[in-house]
Amino acid sequence: MKRIVHFGMFTALALIFSYVESLIPISLGIPGVKLGLANLVIVLVLDRMEVGQVYLLAVTRILLAGFLFSNLSSILYSLAGSLLSVTVMYFLNRTEKFSIVGVSVAGGVAHNVGQLVVAMTVLETLQLRYYLPVLIVAGIVTGLLIGVIASEMLVRIRRGNER
């Protein structure tokens, strides 16, 4: 029961992050480059939930956010990016060789690469490959940002739990 409540909370949180992000009019002009604020939630729960639940959270969030704030085709790309991202992060996390920052970076990069690959498949063109370097760097940057935030948050949460 507690798990269901937590799941609902985290999903709602991720949804709100998505919404807030959609309000920010910043764009690099390259499709698929976003802050990935909702990934903060994914990164935070990675250790606490079974991987199946994490996938479910990601998918639920994307579907809800997509129907509420966005359009059908972007849902497809987000799903592709997120599924790859969660997979990569899960395996990297299991090895216990990287901190949450590294995991988040890998997740960010995987997210962007996944979106690019799906875009190339849907549009049936290889020309989009030229975006790869930029998207990888963007993934590193956003992954770093989210990873650092998550890591700082966890430190403070743990301190709070010790009282």
- The residues of the shown chain that bind other proteins, judged by CB under 8 A, are 27, 29-31, 71, 73-74, 77, 96-99, 101-102, 105-106, 109, 119, 122-133, 136-137, 139-140, 144
Report the nearest approach of other proteins to the CB of residue 59 (Å): 20
Nearest residue (CB) to other proteins, 50 versus 96:
96
Neighbours of 72 (CB within 10 A): 8
For the bound state, the minimum distance from the C-beta of residue 83 to other proteins, rounded and expressed in Å, comes to 18
Min separation Cβ 79 and other proteins, Å: 14
- Token look-up 């743990």 returns 158
In three-state secondary structure terms, 66 is helix
Q: For the chain, what is the radius of gyration of the CA atoms?
A: 16
**How near is the Cβ of 64 to other proteins at its closest, in Å?**
18
Quote the CA–CA distance of 2 and 38 in Å, as a whole number. Answer: 22
CB closer to other proteins out of 17 and 131: 131
Min CB(2)–other proteins separation in Å: 29
For other proteins, the closer CB: 55 or 69: 69
**Closer residue to other proteins (CB): 11 or 18:** 18
98-134 burial string, b = 16+ CB within 10 Å, else e?
Answer: eebbbbbbbbbbbbbbbbbbbbbeeeeeeebeebeee
Q: Which is nearer to other proteins, 12 or 132 (CB)?
A: 132
Tell me how far apart the alpha carbons of residues 121 and 95 are, in angstroms, rounded to a whole number. 31
Q: Which of 14, 111, 30, 123 is nearest to 69 (CA)?
A: 14
